[in-house]
Amino acid sequence: MASVLVPVAYVIIVFGSLFLFSYFYRKRAASQPFEPYFPTHPDRNAYVTLLQKTDPPTPDVVLKAALVRRAMTDVQRVMRIREDKPALQNLLQKGSIGDELWNSLLAAEKELEAEIVEVMAEANSFVEGWGPVIFQTANEMIVNEKMRAIFERTAEKKAELEVKYGRKAHLHTLAPQINVTLGPPPAPNTPSASAVPSPASKIVNGSSAQSPAGPGSTPSSDGESRSPSKANKKRK
C-alpha cells in the first residue's frame, strides 16, 4: 500500500507546484505595465481638441468630419484585431510569444469597445440615429480611399512597366477585364443581330419615311423608285 501512495503523492506534488508557479507567474505578469498595442489615437485627440475649442467654437461640419475620421481609424483597428487575434492565440499556445503581447491585445480590444460606444454616442448627439450608421459610412470611405490610391498609382505603375519591359504599357494590362459571353457564338455564314437593321433604325435613317413603290417601279442608284412612265418621259 505504501509503495502505491509514494508515486501518487509525488505526481500530486509536482503538478501542484507547477500549477502554483504558473498561477503566480501569470498574475505577476498581468500586474506589470505592458506596451499598448496601439500607441496613440491621433484622430480621437484631434476631435476632442476641436470639441473643447470655444473661442470661436468649432462649426458642426468640422466636428462631424473629425468624428467620421475618428470612426475610420476605429474601423481599421477593429479589422486589424480580427486578423491578429487568432494568429497571436495560436502562437501563445505554442509558446512562441509571451503573455505581454497577448495582454496588450486584450487591453486594446476592451479599449476599442469603449471607443466604439463613445463614438456612437457622439454621433447621436449630432443627429439622432446616426450612431449605428457612422461606422458603415466610415467603412465605405476607407474602401473609397483605397480605390483612389490604386487609381493614382496607375501612371506610376505604367512607367515602371515601361522601364521593366522596355516598351509602352497599355492601361488595360494593369486592370485586366473578364469578358463573359452569355450565348453561343454566331455561325460564320449567319449575320449577327447587329448587322440586320431593325425597323427603328430604318425609321431613324429615313429609309422608311416613304411608302414602298408599286410592283412596276424600279429602284434607282440614289435609292428612289421611279415608275416606267417617268422614265419614258425623260427618254422623250
Task: Give the pLDDT of the chain (236 residues) as one tens digit per residue.
Answer: 567 777 788 888 888 888 888 777 777 766 666 678 888 899 999 999 999 988 888 899 999 999 999 999 999 999 999 999 999 999 988 888 877 888 889 989 999 999 999 999 999 999 999 998 999 999 999 999 999 988 888 888 888 888 888 766 554 444 444 444 434 444 444 444 444 444 333 333 444 334 444 444 444 444 444 444 433 433 44
The widest CA-to-CA distance across the chain, in whole angstroms, is 145
Helix (H, G, I), strand (E, B) or coil at 37: coil
84 residue type, one letter: D
Contact criterion met (CB below 8 Å) for 122 and 48 = no
Q: Which long-range contacts (CB under 8 A, 24 or more apart) does 94-99 make?
A: 98/29, 99/26, 99/29, 99/30
Locus of grid cell 455561325? 187
pTM of the model: 0.56
- Residue spans of the domains in the chain: they are 24-160
